[in-house]
Amino acid sequence: MLYIIGLGLSDETDITVKGLKAVQSSERIYLEAYTSILTVGKEKLEEFYGKKIIIADREMVESESDAILANADTVDVSFLVVGDPYGATTHTDLVIRARELNIPVQVVHNASIMNAAGACGLQLYNFGQTISIVFFTDTWRPDSFYDRIKENKQFGLHTLCLLDIKVKEQSIENLARGRKIYEPPRYMTINQAAEQLLEIEENRQEGLCTPDTLAIGCARIGTATQQIVAGSLQELVDVDFGGPLHSLVLVGSKMHHMEADFIREYAVDKSKFDHLVSKTSA
């Protein structure tokens, strides 16, 4: 059996009982280590699970999946994913490859940012399409997701923005020269995401991500140090949200009065926030 097991959002104790039993029955255990992170390292997981863990980076998962799937038709193999197993398309691809090899697959679900985003006070029913914001470079400043924001805004829906993670990435020069030298890990902050959205708005001029646009910054959701701050995009640029992981929610126009009451407590400036939410529909 290939088990694909969600670990939740915080630490080693977030695994479900079903997931823990699967891990403890497995001959090999892999930890996917590039689409998200926990607040603890693999050593803590190994201590809690009582099993050795193999780190699976992007190269292994995408190019060397045969090693992960080897003899999984005769022994149990666990593939651990921060959040929920279906939070990234890479894991769907692994399931497809296992099926092609007639390897049984069992998925053990857990909390992910896709549902834990409700901690900010906005109702999940009122979210539209989720987008990803990637790091700008000197030569690449993508804005295609702006159109997804626009579609959500047309229906008054909130937009969850997942922020870029760079783990075990190579510089263009090292990649071109074939040198296995990797850049330090980078995690996009809410501040950087807000700045990039404001830059895109300056270029697009469609009024979706202006300095006054109401948004909610969510840092380390599901952990003991989670931080939630509501305010305009311009206000969020200056808030210290601490360490990763960060995500950002753009608030839709059809905010329910219960949502407004809930997130008012997180506002940078409550009086300004009251003025903004007064424009929303109850």
Binding residues for S-adenosyl-L-methionine: 9, 84, 87, 112-113, 163, 246
The bridge status of strand 28-32 relative to strand 77-81 is parallel
Annotated binding residues, written as ranges, equal: 9, 84, 87, 112-113, 163, 246
